[in-house]
Structures are given as structure tokens and as C-alpha cells.
Structure 1
Amino acid sequence: MQDPGVGTQLREAPIIVITHEDPIGRGPSNYMIHAALSAGQDGWREQLWTRRLTEDTFEVACLPFFTYGICYRDIVTIDSNHLVNKVLRKSGHRTLRVALVADHASRDHVHERLHGKAVAAGLPHEWLRGTYLAVNLPPGTDEAPFVETLEPLAQTGALYWEIDS
């Protein structure tokens, strides 16, 4: 039996980075870091906009779409590869995440309804490709009005939602 490594070329998986087009904390001196989205070698990462506080300490300046346990204004540290390696301090902010079902018949209507809800509530939010929504819930924010809108839509199969802190 031949060794599986013999005669084959080893290739690294490409790194796939999810980016933020319009982060809520965009500023003139933002610094980009990455958060690994999966263990192993498949290379999925989310680019996080931050404000540099020290050489390896940063304040998150965006709403993570897929990175769990990190929210707006949390303080994080990075490793030598600019990957988040630790959350030093939680800000108290939470992230309401919504994933619209792309092929749902009322997707565009649901998008407009949720966008209007976030604007009317004065809640900073970010969209990714018109399908993923992240809404900032500052400390003390009551999410009930948003949940009342989301729950019936989730029951019809139009979206999935969660709140991360």
C-alpha cells in the first residue's frame, strides 16, 4: 500500500474572510484583525474592525456576524497572526443576529421590514449581502419589540435569529 502523502501535493485550504462593508464604529484609525470561525484548517475568518488601544489590545468597532462571544466595544487581544485569542473585557453590548432565508418568497419584504424596525428603534446595525443582519443591543436595551417582529417570521421559515452576548 502506498503512503497517501507520496505522489500527492499538499495544498493549504484557502483562507475565506467575511468582511464588514459598513461597520457601525468606522473611524479614521480603525485597525483590522481576524477572528477564526472554525477549528482546524478550513480557514474561515471574520474580519473585525477595531480601535487599537495598545500593541495587542483592541476595542471591537463592528457587529460580528458570525463570531460568537464577541460584541461591539468588547476589548480583545490578538496573537502574532492578528487573530483574536482572548476577550479581556465584555462591554455589556449584545448582538441580535438575523439570517434571512435567501430563497424565501418574501425575503425582500422581510429585509425592508427589519431594516425599518432597526432604524425606527435607533439601533445601530449592519447588513451583509442583504441577507445577514446584526443589530447592536447596548446595555439596558429591551429586545422584546424586535423579538415580537422576528418570532412570527421565524415560524413561517423566513428567517433564523439569535442574541449573543
Structure 2
Amino acid sequence: MIHADLSDRQDGWREQLWTRQLTEDTFEVACLPFFTYGICYRDVVTIDSNHLVNRVVRKSGHRTLRVALVAEHADRDQVHELLHGKAVDAGLPHEWLQGTYLAVDLPPGSDEAPFVEALEPLAQAGALHWEIDS
């Protein structure tokens, strides 16, 4: 397990990344990062002596669709169920964090359009925020 330094957003903040070790200091990312930009599932990264990511050495071609549900939105539970169903129906690996944050793996060649079609009206209604990272 390694960490990504996110202290540029909040002092001391880090994201734990599950990985598969390839060499002494090279790792393949084996999770869906929720907060770390520029690193996606199966990317290969190197670490420094503090086990912090210091660079991406190979991109996998995967992208991460991230969604943050708005906590005070009245239909939050319904939105959660809708998005969970979309991920399951599409057969895409996904992870939830605290029921509020969703990360969906978009493998090379996958089409995010079904998610975007569901996300856009919800974002316009103030129920969530979303982005795609590569």
C-alpha cells in the first residue's frame, strides 16, 4: 500500500492507494482513486522513501469517473441507488466511499455516455458534482 500526497488541497492530507508491487519502488495501482488526480486504475507509479507517489511511469488507458453526492440533497439515497444501478448494469468496476463518493473505472474503449446522460440532469438539479479523470 502506498499514498498519494494531497497536501496541496489540505495540509497533511493523503490518499491511500492499494497497489501491486512490481519492483522495489514501482507499483501498479489496484484501486480506483477517489481524490488523486492523474492516477487511474492499473497505472504504474514510482514512490519515494516515504512511500508517496512521486511520478506516473506508465498510463494504463483507464479513466476514472468520479461523483460526489451533495449531502443535504433531499433525494440523496435515490440518487445513490440510481448511480449504483448504472454501474452494475454497465458491468463497470466501481467503489463507494461513505455512500457519498463514487469512483467508476472506465476501461480503454468504454463509453461513459450512459453515465453522463444520468449525471447531467442530477448535477443541474444540485444533487451531485462529477468529473472524468485520465
Question: How high is the TM-score relative to the length of structure 1?
Answer: 0.80
What CA deviation, in whole Å up to 9, does each residue of 1:31-55 have, x standing for no partner? x100011239810000000000000
Task: Name the SS for the 2:126 alignment partner.
Answer: coil
The equivalent of 2:26 in structure 1 is 57
Can you give the 5+ residue segments of structure 1 that lack an aligned partner in the other structure?
Answer: 1-31
How do 1:1-165 residues align onto structure 2 when only pairs under 5 Å count?
A: 32-39=1-8, 42-165=11-134
Which range moved further: 37-46 or 123-132?
A: 37-46
> Which whole-Å CA distance do the structure 1 matches of 2:71 and 2:107 have between them?
28
Counterpart code for 1:78: I
Report % sequence identity: 87
What CA deviation, in whole Å up to 9, does each residue of 1:114-164 have, x standing for no partner? 000000000000000000000000000010111000000000000000000
Task: Name the SS for the 1:54 alignment partner.
Answer: coil
What CA deviation, in whole Å up to 9, does each residue of 1:74-93 have, x standing for no partner? 00000000000000000000
Task: Name the SS for the 2:54 alignment partner.
Answer: strand
Task: Name the SS for the 2:110 alignment partner.
Answer: coil
Higher Rg of the two aligned structures:
1
> Which whole-Å CA distance do the structure 1 matches of 2:9 and 2:68 have between them?
25
Distance change (3 Å), C-alpha of 1:152 and 1:41? closer
> Which whole-Å CA distance do the structure 1 matches of 2:35 and 2:43 have between them?
15
> Which whole-Å CA distance do the structure 2 matches of 1:113 and 1:95 have between them?
18
Counterpart code for 1:146: F
Can you give the 5+ residue segments of structure 2 that lack an aligned partner in the other structure?
Answer: none
Task: Name the SS for the 1:145 alignment partner.
Answer: helix
Task: Name the SS for the 2:99 alignment partner.
Answer: coil
